[in-house]
Amino acid sequence: MSGFSDYDKYDGLGLAELVLKKEVKPIELVEEAISRIEKLNPQVNAVIYKMYEQACQAAVGDLPDGHFRGVPFLLKDLAASYGGVPLTSGCRFFKDLVPDHDSELVKRFKAAGVVILGKTNLPEFGLAFVTEPELFGPANNPWDLTRTTGGSSGGSAAAVAARMVPLAHGSDGGGSIRVPASCCGVFGLKPTRGRNPAGPDFGDLWRGFACEHVVTRSVRDSAAMLDATAGADTGAPYWAVPPERPFLSEVGLNPGKLRIAFTAEPFFGSRVDEDCIKGLEATVKICQDLGYEVTEAVLPIDGKALARAFLTVICCETRAFIEEGEALLHRKATYKDFEPSTWVSGLLGKKLYAPDFSKSINLIQRASRQIGEFFERFDVLLTPVLASAPLVTGASQIKGFRLMAMKFLGRLNAGGVISKISGIGALAGEAFEFAAYTPLFNATGQPAMSVPLYWSDKGLPIGMQFVGRYGDEATLFRLAGQLEKARPWFDRFPPICAKPV
């Protein structure tokens, strides 16, 4: 199989420019991407469903003249329906589900000209901050194969980090673009709520907590893809105010003298490792050197109450997803169809009362108002993405007696007993220790990005989170463009692909 050996010297826009100039053919790019997936995926386990035949047919066909014409691309196996291709959501229950249509976002990806080669690994329902599903097995971090890729877009981030593709689809309901971007040393932006379409199957995702976009190696690829996909689709319940100009044009602009607040104080967790503190301090110095006004500040929130409220909504959404799946597949779900933690989350969601759900949404929305006032004083907030470097694979899994008890109570459908033994508050205290900084901005709907600016002494990437005002991706793209020039990361290769494939 022929290919294009300089493939990883270019980002997506760079490859598309070569196609436009007829210096390389889309099929050559696709063949190179397939070669890399076949060589590296046995180690990384990023790609869980291959669409090589469709990809090769598309590559030699009449591709749309979008920003990314001919560029290889991967879809996360969650929410993004591709007609005729399984959509498992990382779950045994849905392993045979095959949608008969494309989601609106997939239509827009295709219109951008990308060639879709397959689907990427994820935790069941996208519920975990690590990608270790029972259905597909764990995805492994290209920087250290014993470490997590993060979750839930872990397969996509690993594939981009390993140079299988220059960019890949992701979704973010609590940090699921930013967390794996941090773990894998790539760029990941969560757009503003309502920026990208969720139809036709959803009005919004997780009551607006979740949204979809991409993980990339370059800032400009992220901006260009958002230009290609942003905007309301038919019947959208709400949408973000359109930008003043294309996001791609923002990347090279000077953001001006930004007022940047920073904090190491975790919002939903209780501890932060030294490596993340060092990364934050180094990033503060970079921002100061760029001439920004940088001030330490603490957000006026009750983190414990917000964590409980956030998890309450997620448990209810998990139960709804299970029951909607039963209707779609015309069969009753049992504990055998799901991982224990997913099934138990659904049982808790079933036992919660409607007022619990409404009160949680109300509390989150009040907190969003407070955070909105905070952003009247600052343009950007800087934090670590995570409370630690990428975890060792399996470190966050429930084990021993707790796992046995969870399985036993799950078999009994004992949601009430589980609620009394370890209520939402206790679960929330554990759920967000690793991803202590990201879920807050799914609740508020603000744009936030993970920028790969720091590596630990062990060579592990540790991303820094920058959060903007609601609807203000433009400022983040301007800032990210400057950071990319000040501390370039594009040519940092993980060990498994430090030499040409």
Range with the poorest average pLDDT among 285-289, 329-333, 398-402, 485-489: 398-402
pLDDT at 369 over 70: yes
Whether residues 46 and 116 fall in one domain: yes
pLDDT at 68 over 50: yes
Summarised one tens digit per residue, pLDDT across range 204-220 is: 999 999 999 999 999 99
CA distance 25 to 297: 51
Range 56-81 burial, b when 16+ CB lie within 10 A, else e: bebbeeebeebbbbbbbbbbbbbbbb
Residue 488: what pLDDT?
98
Whether residues 181 and 251 fall in one domain: yes
152 is catalytic: yes
Is residue 389 situated within a structural domain? no
Catalytic residue among 35, 171, 176, 388: 176
Is residue 388 situated within a structural domain? no
Beta-strand pair 448-455/461-468: antiparallel
For residues 476 and 215, the answer to whether their CB atoms sit within 8 Å is: no
76 is catalytic: yes
Residue 500: what pLDDT?
45
Whether residues 343 and 462 fall in one domain: no
Summarised one tens digit per residue, pLDDT across range 20-32 is: 999 999 999 999 9
Average pLDDT over the chain, rounded to an integer: 93
Whether residues 470 and 361 fall in one domain: no
Residue 400: what pLDDT?
60
Catalytic residue among 81, 152, 156, 422: 152
Residue 1: what pLDDT?
45
Is residue 106 situated within a structural domain? yes
Whether residues 275 and 415 fall in one domain: no
Is residue 81 situated within a structural domain? yes
Would you place residue 407 in the very low, low, confident or very high pLDDT band (cuts 50, 70, 90)?
Answer: low
Is residue 71 situated within a structural domain? yes
34: domain CATH number is: 3.90.1300.10
Percentage of the chain lying above the pLDDT 70 cut: 92
Residue at which a domain ends, from 431, 453, 476: 431
Whether residues 416 and 473 fall in one domain: no
Beta-carbon-side half-sphere exposure of residue 340 (alpha carbons within 13 Å): 18
Whether residues 367 and 490 fall in one domain: no
Is residue 201 situated within a structural domain? yes
Q: What's the rounded mean pLDDT across residues 143-166?
A: 98
Whether residues 148 and 222 fall in one domain: yes
Whether residues 258 and 308 fall in one domain: no
Residue at which a domain ends, from 431, 451, 473: 431
Which is more confidently placed, 317 or 422?
Answer: 317
Residue 416: what pLDDT?
52
Summarised one tens digit per residue, pLDDT across range 242-265 is: 999 999 999 999 999 999 999 999
Whether residues 191 and 215 fall in one domain: yes
Residue 501: what pLDDT?
41
Whether residues 240 and 203 fall in one domain: yes
Q: How many domains does the chain have?
A: 2
Which is more confidently placed, 481 or 1?
Answer: 481
The DSSP result for 180-204, as a single string, is HHHHHT-EEEEPPTTSS--TTT-SS
Whether residues 287 and 316 fall in one domain: no
Q: What's the rounded mean pLDDT across residues 394-422?
A: 60
Is residue 491 situated within a structural domain? yes
Residue 421: what pLDDT?
44
Residue 415: what pLDDT?
54
Domain of 89 in residue numbering reads as 7-297+435-497
Summarised one tens digit per residue, pLDDT across range 43-52 is: 999 999 999 9
Residue 269: what pLDDT?
86
Is residue 386 situated within a structural domain? no
Q: Which residues contact 62 (CB under 8 A, 6 or more apart)?
A: none
| pTM (two decimals) | 0.95
